[in-house]
Every structure is written in structure tokens, then in C-alpha cells.
């Protein structure tokens, strides 16, 4: 199969022929329909986060099940599915206490002595985040995908695989936004826009979107923002504090920088919660004033929106089909696998919401 491979940090992805194994007892072979380009992929390409190489990147995807292993009970051939990088075992402490997204059980991966899921003619090939969706097929654990209704467009469904679940989940699960509360979101890429949309669905009374690119303002409004701050022209923290008479109940950082994480915390009201969604590069430190904790302000992380994806993702599909999730506005361009590097070049400019690779049926 054709796949986009990262062989060296800082270098473009290479389109190569990669071999894929057959499904084991709890595995599913999926024909990839679409895969979104996520900033997380770029972090690994640039070396901000380490990963064994060579590897097939990609983790925001949808597809159609072609084969299943002998013990698979969750999906069947012909099902339309959305994948999720937070594969879960179903019986560890995290899973049994409702924190499936925190599961790190090795049971969802093949063992060191097993045949690898992916391989290349000239040596091993690493699977990325349990998925490797920049490829014509994916071979994954059954607990890394969920079946969805077949009238859902698969190119749009791919977005639910990461950015939507991460952003909406951060609002409704991690921070538990309640009706009437106030929200600020720093960064209006795919994840940030999803957080805006999630806050709107949760009933937030005021949603302040913040970005360095002024053109993102109208887009944020379409997702439910009530206000927009162009951070390239003003002090975003000062603006938020003035607009809300002392700060917001919930703030969300969706870029992955120490500076914006600090701003996220500093724009809170007393008792507020700052949620760091973005992947701050390894080694960077976040500094906050210790006295601020006397006001019961909270700074917390959010991993994949604290999801229960087998339940959440079908519901998000229903939200889209009923008009509550504005995902059509999130796709800035549809590209082919061979254009993946051009897609990441566009991402670096910061002007697009999401690029989606669409594979031929």
C-alpha cells in the first residue's frame, strides 16, 4: 500500500510502498477513506516530540472495515468507522473508572516478538499513535475505532477522529462547561474551533475566540464564538479581563506554547479553570503566579478531550447531521496523499483550519 513515511526529523514525508499484516484476533483492517492533517503530526515531524523512526504518520481518520480478527465483536466488514488514537484495553484501572482515554495498556499493540503490523522492504516500519492513517489501509486494535451511521460523509467524519473529539471533549468533559458560563479559547485551528463549538453546545453565554490571524474571526463566529480578539494587535489577557469584568470561567489553550498556556491561566476569574489542550514542546516550562492559586484557579491538561470515544463519536456524528457541529466550515482543503507535504506547509502559515487527505474509493 502507499503511505506517507517520516524517516528523518525535519525532512518531508516520503510516499512509499509499505507492507501491512493480516488482522490478529482483536484487530481490524480498515481501508482509509480520509485523514486530517493535525498539528500533532507536525510536532513529531519537527522533533518537538520524539517517536521511533521510520514511521507512517497520521491519526485523524475514517474508513471502511475490510477484515476483522477472530475475536472482534465491536465492528464487522462493511462498517463505516472513525478511528481514535486513545485505544483502550477495557479492564485496567483507567478503563474501569471511566478514564478510557488515559489507558496505556500494551494489550492494544502487538508484542515485540510478534510480526509487526507494518513493515518495509528495507527494514522495520513503526506504527504511529496506534493508527498510522496517512496510508491506504490501517491495521489497528478493535478498541481504536467505532462504527458510525453510513449517511455520514467520511471526509467530514475523519475530523471527529481527533480535532473534534479533542476540542469538544475538552469543553464538555474535561472542563465541564455549564450553561451561562464564560469561555475563552486561544487558537482557532481545528481543535480550537471545536472547543468553541463544544462550548456553544454546552450553553456558554459568552465565548471569546483569540488568534493572531484576523481572518480567523469570521470562522470562529460560525462555530459559535460571540467575540473575537486579534492577539497580534492587543493584549489578549487584558482584553478578556475587561470584557468579562474579571475573567472567564473556563479557558482553553489550543496552540501548544508555554506563553499562551500562561495567558490561558491569567485570563481566569476566581475559581476558573484553564485547560491546556495544545502539545507544549518537551522541555518548555509554564510559569504562573503562586498567589493566583489562593483564588482557587485551576491549571489542568486535557488528553483527547477526556473522551469515551465509542459513545462520544457516534453522538458527535448526530450533532453534525442535526446541524449542531459546524464541521463543513472546518475543512479548508481536500488533498491527495501525494500532496501531504504541501498541506503541512500551508499549516505552518496558520491561515487554514484543516486540510484533509481524501483517498480514492
Catalytic residue among 43, 137, 141, 143: 43
Cβ-contact 188, 216 below 8 angstroms: yes
User: What is the per-residue burial (b if ≥16 Cβ within 10 Å, else e) of 64-87?
Assistant: bbeebbeebebbeeebbbbbbbbb
Catalytic residue among 162, 173, 188, 355: 162
The residues that bridge with 36 in the sheet, in sequence order, are 60, 356
Catalytic residue among 39, 59, 80, 249: 59
Catalytic site residue 91? no
Per the rule left: phi > 0, alpha: psi between -120 and 50, beta: everything else, 283 is left
Catalytic residue among 26, 40, 302, 355: 40
β-strand pairing of 123-124 with 206-211: unpaired
Residue 295 has a CB neighbour count (10 Å cut-off) of 12
Catalytic site residue 38? yes
Catalytic residue among 26, 38, 95, 101: 38
Catalytic site residue 43? yes
Return the active site residues.
38, 40, 43, 59, 162
Amino acid at each position: 500500500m502507499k503511505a506517507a513515511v517520516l524517516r528523518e526529523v525535519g525532512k518531508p514525508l516520503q510516499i512509499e510502498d509499505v507492507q501491512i499484516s493480516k488482522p490478529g484476533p482483536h484487530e481490524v483492517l480498515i481501508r482509509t477513506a480520509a485523514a486530517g492533517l493535525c498539528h500533532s503530526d507536525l510536532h513529531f515531524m519537527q522533533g518537538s516530540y520524539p517517536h521511533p523512526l521510520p514511521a507512517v504518520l497520521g491519526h485523524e481518520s475514517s474508513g471502511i472495515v475490510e477484515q476483522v480478527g477472530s475475536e472482534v465483536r465491536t465492528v464487522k466488514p462493511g462498517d463505516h468507522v472513525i478511528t481514535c488514537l486513545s485505544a483502550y484495553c477495557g479492564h485496567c484501572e483507567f478503563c474501569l473508572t471511566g478514564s478510557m482515554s488515559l489507558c496505556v495498556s500494551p494489550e492494544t499493540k502487538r508484542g515485540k516478538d510478534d510480526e509487526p503490523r507494518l513493515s518495509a522492504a528495507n527494514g522495520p516500519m513503526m506504527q504511529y499513535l496506534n493508527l498510522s492513517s496517512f496510508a491506504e489501509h490501517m491495521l489497528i486494535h478493535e478498541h481504536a475505532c467505532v462504527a458510525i451511521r453510513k449517511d455520514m460523509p467520511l471526509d467530514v467524519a475523519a475530523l471527529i477522529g481527533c480535532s473534534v473529539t479533542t476540542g469538544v471533549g475538552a469543553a464538555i468533559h474535561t472542563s465541564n462547561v455549564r450553561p451561562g458560563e464564560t469561555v475563552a479559547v486561544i487558537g482557532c485551528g481545528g481543535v480550537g474551533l471545536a472547543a468553541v463549538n463544544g462550548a456553544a453546545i454546552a450553553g456558554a453565554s459568552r465565548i471569546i475566540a483569540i488568534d493572531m490571524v484576523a481572518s480567523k474571526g469570521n470562522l470562529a463566529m460560525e462555530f459559535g464564538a460571540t467575540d473575537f480578539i486579534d492577539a497580534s494587535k492587543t493584549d489578549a489577557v487584558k482584553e478578556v479581563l475587561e470584557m468579562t469584568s474579571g475573567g472567564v470561567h473556563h479557558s482553553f489553550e489550543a496552540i501548544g506554547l508555554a506563553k499562551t498556556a500562561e495567558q490561558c491561566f491569567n485570563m481566569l476569574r476566581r475559581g476558573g479553570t484553564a485547560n491546556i489542550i495544545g502539545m507544549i514542546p518537551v522541555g518548555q516550562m509554564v510559569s504562573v503566579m503562586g498567589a493566583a492559586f489562593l483564588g482557587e484557579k485551576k491549571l489542568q491538561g486535557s488528553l483527547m478531550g477526556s473522551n469515551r470515544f465509542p459513545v462520544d463519536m457516534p453522538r458527535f456524528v448526530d450533532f453534525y447531521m442535526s446541524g449542531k457541529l459546524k464541521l463543513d466550515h472546518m475543512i479548508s482543503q481536500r488533498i491527495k496523499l501525494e500532496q501531504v507535504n504541501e498541506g503541512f506547509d500551508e499549516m505552518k502559515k496558520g491561515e487554514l483550519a484543516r486540510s484533509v487527505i481524501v483517498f480514492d474509493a
